[in-house]
Amino acid sequence: MSTGNEVMHDGVMSTGEDARIFPDVEACIDCGGCVVSCKRTWDVPRDEQRISIATMLEGQEAASGLNASSGKAIGQGESPGETAVPMQCYHCSNAPCVSVCPTDSLISKENGFVRVRDDLCIGCQYCLSACPFGAPQFPDEDSGVANLVGSGGTMDKCTMCEERQDVGKGPACAEECATDAILVGTPAQISDELDNRDSGTFFNDVAMDIIFGDDASEFQ
């Protein structure tokens, strides 16, 4: 379902089917607003989070002339300097977690969302090993059978707020982001927005292929 642009926040360009979520690392200021909004929206417990901000090369300056252009610096093989990357489930087109899940508890839905079927998850943590972005979390690892035999408990991860998108709202993290560092839209919309901002994609080709599949060509 797409509800058009008229009610969308600047970073949320379209929602529903075919909508993707992707970070603009140049805009992220590591404020933690996305983390708080996700926790508040979904009552995520204190010690858990479905989105985190990974800060790389903290306190370091980028290569000359590239201090505010992490994506370009990466593309040129230069140091990007301190870079904050919102890390969450990107609901990949070629999701490695779905590929390795032995119980098919992880599925890629036709509308593009990667969902967990809680009743099938056995907490084997293969998805955690396979995901390049650290999205899968195991908050129940210390409870019940998981505590007894040392398995991971049921997996939990970002849902990209599918329920909110069903009613035309954007993901809570993206709606709340003060700097519009989390982009939601079709691959073409996200690519255009990054071009308009003169921001790079930051991720390498392998990661882009995983996230966007054939649509990765939109970013070249």
Partner 1 sequence: MSNLDHGKFTRVTTLFHSLLGLDVFLLFFTGYAIMFNDELWWMLTLMGGASGVTAIHRITGIGLVALVVFWITLQLISSTGRSNFSKILPAKDDIDAFIQDVQFVLGRADERHPSARQFAGYKADEVPLLSYIGKGVVAIFSIELTLLAISGLLIWSKTGLAAMFQTKAAAMAFVTFHGLLGVIMLMGVMFHIFEHGMHPAFYPVETKAFIPRSMVPEHHGDDDEEPDTTGIERLSLSPSWRTVSTVFGAMTVIGIVSVLVGSIFDEGYPVPRELAIGGGPSSILLTVGINLGMIVLGVGLVLSMYGNVLRIRWEQQLEQEREPTTAADGGEPQTDGGRPDAGDSEN
Residues that bind partner 1 (CB under 8 A): 94, 96, 98-105, 119-126, 128-130, 132, 144-146, 148-152
Query: How far apart are the C-alpha atoms of 46 and 92, rounded to whole Å?
Result: 27
Pick 95 or 182: Cβ nearer partner 1? 95
Q: How far is the CB of 153 from partner 1 (least distance, A)?
A: 9
Q: In terms of C-beta distances under 8 Å and separation of at least 24 residues, what long-range contacts does 122-125 make, across chains too?
A: 122/151, 123/151, 123/152, 123/153, 123/154, 123/155, 124/151, 124/152, 125/151, 125/152, 125/155
Q: How far is the CB of 47 from partner 1 (least distance, A)?
A: 16
Pick 36 or 107: Cβ nearer partner 1? 107
30 φ/ψ angles, rounded to the nearest 5 degrees: 55, 40
Pick 7 or 145: Cβ nearer partner 1? 145
Pick 132 or 168: Cβ nearer partner 1? 132
Query: How far apart are the C-alpha atoms of 206 and 127, rounded to whole Å?
Result: 18
Q: How far is the CB of 103 from partner 1 (least distance, A)?
A: 5
Radius of gyration of the chain (CA): 17
Contact 57, 82 (CB under 8 A): yes
Pick 23 or 123: Cβ nearer partner 1? 123
Pick 29 or 145: Cβ nearer partner 1? 145
Alpha helices in 138-203 (DSSP H): 144-149, 162-166, 172-176, 187-197
Query: How far apart are the C-alpha atoms of 151 and 127, rounded to whole Å?
Result: 13
Q: How far is the CB of 124 from partner 1 (least distance, A)?
A: 7
Q: How far is the CB of 185 from partner 1 (least distance, A)?
A: 26
Q: How far is the CB of 118 from partner 1 (least distance, A)?
A: 10
Read off the tokens for 142.
């210390």
